[in-house]
Amino acid sequence: MRTAVFLSAFGVLIFSTNIFSQSVNFSISVEESLRTISPYIYGTNQLLTEEEHWGALRQGGNRLTGYNWENNASNAGTDYINSNDGYLTWIAGIQNEYEPGIVTTTFRNKSIQLNAYSLITLQLAGYVARDKKGTVTQQQTAPSSRWREVKFEKENTFSLQPDTSDSFVYLDEYVNFLVDKFGMANTSTGIKGYSLDNEPDLWNSTHPRIHPLQAKCVEIVQKGIDAATAVKNVDPYLETFGPVLYGFNGYYDFQSAEDWNSVRSGTNYQWFIDYYLDKMKQAEISSGKRLLDVLDIHWYPEARGDNRITGQNANTTADKLARVQAPRTLWDYNYQENSWIAQWFNSYLPLIPRLRQSIDQFYPGTKIAFTEFSYGGENDITGAIAIADVLGIFGKYDVYLGTFWQLNSPSNYISSAYKIYRNYDGNYSTFGNFFLPSLTSDSVNTSVYGSTNDAGNEIHLMVINKKLDESVNGNFSIASQNNILSGRVWKLDENSPQITEINPVTNIVNNSFSYSLPAASVCHFVLQTDVVSVEEENPLLQNYYLTAYPNPFNPSCRIEYNVPVHSNSYINIYSVNGELVKSYNELSGAGNLIWDGSNRNGQKVSSGVYFATLNSNGEILSTQKLVLMK
């Protein structure tokens, strides 16, 4: 027998858990202050079966860089003989191919039907296709008669029937056209998100007829500022996503851009992302409005077994083992994947905390999006395990939006990885929308992600067994003021991409139970709790807010707060023994701070549970549990 101890704002709760051989302990804490999981992390670039209950749809990819909204022509670039054609209308089955903006209006109508966030690509490379006459030769490289120049701002009156006889296409007129169709971004049907083009770090290789020279750092920043300014003048409520980098070399030095060394000289920029964020922040100060809302990157892991895990031939046991471990690169300081990134640029990993570090330093408040990602194995259980793990990580580490990119077809297991979060029972029931801190005693072989629903009468657990040929006995302990009454379980495993309901949870004692997790599986537990009593909220608390992420963390976490101005507010951090570890005083208004796991003397504290309290005039108004894992 081993005893696990959990603390909460309500006191000390002690649960006894039987420990068996080869068992894993899972602990979940239901707290007072809950952070929302963004529904937009459950997004895609391709519709797959349309039964995935998508939270976001992205209109993106190489085709959109050369898209002309006035006549729906686009350019394939090196994906297909640099062809100008009507592919985007053809692939969508659109009949009236010359109706202005019909590619985008059709896309938005589908998003409305699915109740999904829409992310639209804006054209920043300089030119878009003028015609649908096929291959563009090198001699016809822009500027030429095969192209129309893109201007971000139209200096005269907008038209809903754009002039297709002139030499220009206007971005702000495009957004005005969409606002006229669907309303502003703050309305139920308005388009919320706009990407500042697609993979500009590769324009010279993907679109040599549009942008034959490699883009420069200064160029992409200035284009981002000018384009965002123009479209936000039309719709101030829309969100801009940028710079939509293709991969790590883009993050690091903008694909070895020739001006990278000069723009970083004399600065503390560690990689291109720092420079981009800082310049967009400076532009906000100058313009008086935020011009970048979301840091947008693409992530196709370079992790390898015998082969790179995203390759079509990555089917060996070593490849599969590497695939199920690869999501740890997003968060785990104790993991190093087999890749050139981990070998030569390990200080930039794990990725999400490193992105947060840059955001906190150079442009606080910027959200994070992964608008293209895949882990390969799209018709294999290991692909589903990886994607299910990534979705849990996105929710845990407060990613704003994620849209999967299909590399191979069929993608039956990827479809089911989304369904087990968003349509696990065939009735479009979903994983909860409020994050619950959850821990596993074996993060190498298992993952656990917790949530609860709006009503607070369900606890959802997504539990992953990464062992490909061995079941795991899971011992679950839930720290909650409410009693768990019952539990149902849905499973996805190697036997079939079909999600099935399996044996229910039994023998629940003091909110603890054991359950055998099948080999190579993703299990969704839905635990019913007794009725939650809703107490009248203290009006004073409406002015105070406290949250922290990542949580658990290593080596640092970001603590966000909101307090009234001049309220004599402060944050204390305590150990589980009640010892004051650190204080942050003189808080005023909304803000954030970084706790690096040190005490008042600057010494690093040990792993364990800590508590941050938000205090005002000597009264504790909110408490946040912090878990430091080394």
Q: Do 453 and 493 fall into the same domain? A: yes
Does 440 fall in a domain? yes
Choice among 18-22, 226-230, 407-411 with the minimum mean pLDDT:
18-22
The per-residue pLDDT for range 403-454, each reduced to its tens digit, is 999 999 889 999 999 999 999 999 999 999 999 999 999 999 999 999 998 8
Q: Do 30 and 109 fall into the same domain? A: no
The per-residue pLDDT for range 295-306, each reduced to its tens digit, is 999 999 999 999
When the pLDDT of each residue in the chain is averaged and rounded to a whole number, the result is 91
Say which CATH number the domain at 510 has.
2.60.40.1180
Q: Do 174 and 308 fall into the same domain? A: yes
Q: Do 294 and 412 fall into the same domain? A: yes
Q: Is the pLDDT of residue 318 over 90?
A: yes
Domain of 103 in residue numbering reads as: 39-64+88-122+162-422
Beta carbons within 8 Å of 250's beta carbon, 6+ residues apart: 199, 201, 202, 272, 297
* Long-range pairs of 82-88 with CB within 8 A, sequence gap ≥ 24: 82/135, 82/136, 82/137, 82/208, 82/209, 83/134, 83/135, 83/136, 84/129, 84/130, 84/131, 84/132, 84/133, 84/134, 84/135, 84/136, 84/146, 85/129, 85/132, 85/133, 85/134, 86/132, 87/63, 88/63
Q: Do 236 and 299 fall into the same domain? A: yes
Q: Is the pLDDT of residue 3 over 80?
A: no
Does 143 fall in a domain? no
Say which CATH number the domain at 382 has.
3.20.20.80
pLDDT band at 629 (very low <50, low <70, confident <90, very high): confident
Say which CATH number the domain at 550 has.
2.60.40.4070
Of the candidates 354, 387, 422, which is a domain's last residue? 422
Q: Do 256 and 383 fall into the same domain? A: yes
Of the candidates 469, 504, 529, which is a domain's last residue? 529
Task: Say what the pLDDT of residue 576 is.
Answer: 66
Do 123 and 59 meet the contact criterion of CB atoms below 8 Å apart? no
Compute the average pLDDT of residues 16-37.
Answer: 74
Does 281 fall in a domain? yes
Structure tokens at 170: 């206007």
Does 267 fall in a domain? yes
Angle at 251 between CA 245 and CA 252, to 5 degrees: 150
Q: Do 416 and 345 fall into the same domain? A: yes
Structure tokens at 141: 């490289």
Task: Say what the pLDDT of residue 611 is.
Answer: 86
Does 132 fall in a domain? no
Of the candidates 500, 529, 558, which is a domain's last residue? 529
Q: Do 354 and 217 fall into the same domain? A: yes
Compute the average pLDDT of residues 29-36.
Answer: 83
Catalytic residue among 52, 199, 372, 378: 199
Number of structural domains (the chain) is 3
DSSP letter for 553, please: B
Choice among 21-35, 82-96, 425-439, 615-629 with the minimum mean pLDDT:
615-629
Does 27 fall in a domain? yes
Q: Is the pLDDT of residue 192 over 80?
A: yes
Does 181 fall in a domain? yes
445/461 Cα distance (integer angstroms): 16
User: From the CB of residue 443, how many other CB atoms can be counted at a distance below 10 Å?
Assistant: 18
Do 20 and 11 meet the contact criterion of CB atoms below 8 Å apart? no
Q: Do 507 and 566 fall into the same domain? A: no
The per-residue pLDDT for range 348-390, each reduced to its tens digit, is 999 999 999 999 999 999 999 999 999 999 999 999 999 999 9
Q: Do 222 and 245 fall into the same domain? A: yes
Residue 199 appears among annotated catalytic residues: yes
Q: Give residue 125's Cα distance to chain centre.
A: 25
Q: Which residue has the higher pLDDT, 475 or 564?
A: 475
Task: Say what the pLDDT of residue 43 is.
Answer: 98
Buried b (16+ CB within 10 A) or exposed e, 499-521: beeeeebeebeebbbbbebbebb
Q: Do 488 and 525 fall into the same domain? A: yes
Q: Which residue has the higher pLDDT, 370 or 621?
A: 370
The SS3 call for residue 381 is helix
Q: Is the pLDDT of residue 9 over 60?
A: no
Q: Give residue 433's Cα distance to chain centre.
A: 15
Does 206 fall in a domain? yes
Compute the average pLDDT of residues 264-270.
Answer: 97
The per-residue pLDDT for range 559-601, each reduced to its tens digit, is 888 787 777 888 999 886 677 899 888 887 777 888 889 998 8
Beta strand spans in 173-238 (E): 193-196
The count of C-alpha atoms lying within 13 angstroms of the C-alpha of 559, restricted to the half-sphere facing its C-beta, is: 26
Find tokens 């030769």 and name the residue.
137
Q: Do 15 and 93 fall into the same domain? A: no
